[in-house]
Amino acid sequence: MIAKPSDDLAAAFARLGGEDDEEVWSSLWDDLCHQGCVYADSFLALPYLAAVAAGRAPGAPDEAVSMAGLILSAADDEQTAQYADETAVLLGTARHLLGEAGGDAPAFIHLLQGLLAFEGERVWSVGRLEGLFTQEYEVDCPACSSTLFVAFGEFGTFASAGDYVTSDPVRTALLPADPAALDALPARLHRLATEAGQEKVAYGLIHLFGRAVCPDCEAVFSVSDRVVEMYQ
């Protein structure tokens, strides 16, 4: 998949601002970030996305921030420097929109990942926070390699070595982190979620950055370490 050439991008973004915006954004996502992938030509869209985010062009600023965040999460040093002006615009919009996300957890998480990407963070900005709105992560136990589900949603808060939705596997309790003892980045994410009234996200964060017990071998491990390892 290759992003549209710049002239085609200009035409595509020019279609925003009408009744077909949802269709236009869907097409842009397919062309620029197909199935969450970022390509070299995807960066050509950043000036257009920054214009939308700043209100200088029609379109939804939150969509622009989410797409630009995904693109910039894959930026190397050269691309980071090349698009520094656009990134500064996008960062300001992301900060503003975070306070207006309301109770929409997916929108909040995508904005949060965008914020991190614009600030140059390259671990949690690349989609690893999205388990906070699905309320589960699939990881491998570092000791016995069992495939585990770490869940903290409507079905409970636990680690399981089986499909906990359609079966009744052995479950072990999670060991959440103390919010006051979180490292700098997790503590900041928790604070932002709390200040935005995103209670489920804040709850998920203390489990993401806490520990779990493998129900197969009883090894205790860091959930976030396994998420970083698994979600490359």
Q: What is the pLDDT of residue 85?
A: 98
Q: What is the pLDDT of residue 231?
A: 75
For residue 193, the SS3 value is helix
Q: Do 41 and 99 lie in a common domain?
A: yes
Q: Do 47 and 103 lie in a common domain?
A: yes
Is 1 a member of any domain?
no
Domain boundary pick from 118, 149, 176: 118
Q: Do 20 and 107 lie in a common domain?
A: yes
Q: What is the pLDDT of residue 169?
A: 84
Q: Do 107 and 11 lie in a common domain?
A: yes
Domain boundary pick from 70, 90, 118: 118
Q: What is the pLDDT of residue 2?
A: 45
Q: Do 106 and 12 lie in a common domain?
A: yes
Q: Do 142 and 216 lie in a common domain?
A: yes
The count of structural domains within the chain is: 2
Q: Do 175 and 148 lie in a common domain?
A: yes
Q: What is the pLDDT of residue 7?
A: 62
Q: What is the pLDDT of residue 99?
A: 80
Q: What is the pLDDT of residue 232?
A: 61
Q: Do 79 and 138 lie in a common domain?
A: no
Name the residue range of residue 41's domain: 6-118
Q: Do 88 and 144 lie in a common domain?
A: no
* pLDDT-flagged residues of the chain (< 70): 1-7, 102, 165-166, 232
pTM for this model (two decimals):
0.91
3-class SS letters over 59-126: CCHHHHHHHHHHHHCCCCHHHHHHCHHHHHHHHHHHHHHHCCCCCCHHHHHHHHHHHHHHCCCCCCCC
Q: Do 139 and 62 lie in a common domain?
A: no
